[in-house]
Amino acid sequence: MQLNIAHLYPDLLNIYGDRGNITAFIKRCRWRNIGVNVHEINTGEVINPEFYDFYFIGGGQDQQQIAVSHELRAQKPFLREAMDNNAVFLAICGGYQLLGHYYRPHKGEELKGISLLDAYTVAGNTRYIGNVTVGTALPLGKEKTLTGFENHSGLTYLEGNTRPLGVVITGNGNNGGDKTEGAHEKNVFGTYLHGSLLPKNPHFTDYLIRLSLERNYGQVSLEEINDELEWAAHKKAVKRKY
């Protein structure tokens, strides 16, 4: 089996090691002999929505988000078509904010998002920095926690059919108020969890791989691999206080 991955604007949105998500996704495919092509999509390149199974976009400061928001708006029809065709998206923090309707910083222009998620973000007065653990209802198997690290001042609110990734156990999540963290609709997933997220959440990585494969191959089951190290990292991170 073969997957095609689009890594969106890695030169602009890749803070706190978010590139580690792509590395974890690729490794867990290759360890199972699943072929993977990774294309970096940079400013000015047009996306072919037929080609890609999995899209990744990382986090970034407001400045980089301004540049990417203009780019994403030009790509909106292609990315909407990809979402409608069940492509899988993982968006972290600043990238997550831009998949919603808008990100309104304290100063400067409101950054228009591409509304793949029914969510919006406004600048807050506190920067949330710390470890986060979330209880998720996603069908990830016996482990129901996701763990990572947050560093954002944006406050995100979900609307309509967009559901949270989970409920905050430790940390602040979307807005430090409604106990939600992240968002998902169809196969589009957004989260504030840096870390990077996927290396120490192998169950979520495998879930995203399965969804990405199902587009072209129907229902698949993944070969078990030794996740001792990944779960040791997960459990250690879950124990961390905020």
Q: Which of 211, 91, 215, 214 is nearest to 162 (CA)?
A: 91
- The conformation of residue 237, written as its DSSP 8-state character, comes to H
Among 59, 113, 171, 199, binds ligand GLN (CB under 6 A): 59
* 182 near ligand GLN, rule: CB under 6 A: no
In the complex with ligand GLN, the residue whose CB is nearer, 152 or 200, is 152
State the minimum distance, in angstroms, from the CB of residue 66 to ligand GLN: 10
- In whole angstroms, give the CA distance from residue 138 to residue 48: 29
Q: Known catalytic residue: 29?
A: no
Residue window 64-83: x/- pattern of binding to ligand GLN, with contact defined by CB under 6 A: -x------------------
* 146-154, 162-170, 176-184, 219-227 -> range binding ligand GLN (CB under 6 A): 146-154
Q: How far is the CB of 213 from ligand GLN (least distance, A)?
A: 28
- 152 belongs to the catalytic site: no
From 112, 136, 108, 106, select the one nearest 197 (Cα to Cα): 136
Q: How far apart are CA 160 and CA 120, in angstroms?
A: 11
Burial of 127 from C-beta contacts in 10 A (0-12 / 13-18 / 19+)? exposed
Q: Which residue matches tokens 């959440």?
A: 201
Please list every residue from 148 through 177 that binds ligand GLN, using CB under 6 A.
151-154
Residue closer to ligand GLN (CB basis): 65 or 196: 65
DSSP class of residue 92 equals E
Catalytic positions: 93, 194
The residues that touch ligand GLN, with contacts defined as CB under 6 A, are 15, 59-62, 65, 93-94, 151-154
